Amino acid sequence: MTKSSASGLTRRALLGAFAATAVAAAPTYSNAAGFLRGGGDIRRIRMYSGRTGERIDMIYWVDGEYIKDAVKEINHFMRDWRTDQSTNIDLRTIDIMAASHNLLEVNEPYMLLSGYRSPQTNAMLRRRSRGVAKNSLHMKGQAADLRLASRSVSQMAKAAMACRAGGVGQYYRSNFVHMDCGDVRSWRG
């Protein structure tokens, strides 16, 4: 049970109100590693899906706590659109995406090309392309393939690599960057 303040508002209610109104006041982070260690007070993610037409722009972490309902919406947004299946997206992946976005200093939302992939979808994609891993981290909710119109693959990859928190794949021909929370590594596809 949360203690009420003199005005009758709980800490959780104040955090919820703060999260709903703090978008304009969100700080810019100059150090991704500090951001991932909790160096900031607010974490925000902005994406859209060309496949579903959906958009998401929300604060999902405030004052050291993930906002449960916001994370639930992110999980649904990043679902396998082919099968309409979703999973819990690894919070580390969301943090890497948000930190990279902040480092790029853009307001443009990411275009999400692929988040969670069901085993069926991953198998189908493997039959079509040799660049799809058999045990892809997408199937564990630990990876995302992203694009920004205003930034190059190289710029996005450099921002993600600055986080030193997972894998970064550069796909120049298809114009996207893969970010995951697996081992720290980088490659070109």
Output the tens digit of pLDDT for each of the chain's 189 residues.
444 444 344 444 434 444 443 333 333 334 444 445 444 589 999 999 989 999 999 999 998 999 999 999 999 999 999 999 999 999 999 999 999 999 999 999 999 999 999 999 999 998 998 778 889 999 999 999 999 999 999 999 999 999 999 999 999 999 999 999 999 999 998
Helix (H) or strand (E) holding 24: none
Task: Give the global pTM.
Answer: 0.78
Domains of the chain: 11-188 (3.30.1380.10)
Give the C-alpha separation, 156 to 168, whole Å: 9
Give the C-alpha separation, 36 to 107, whole Å: 20
Residue type, position 162, single letter = A
- Could you say which DSSP state residue 5 is in? -
Cα angle value 168/107/181 (rounded, 5°): 25
Structure tokens at 95: 């943090």
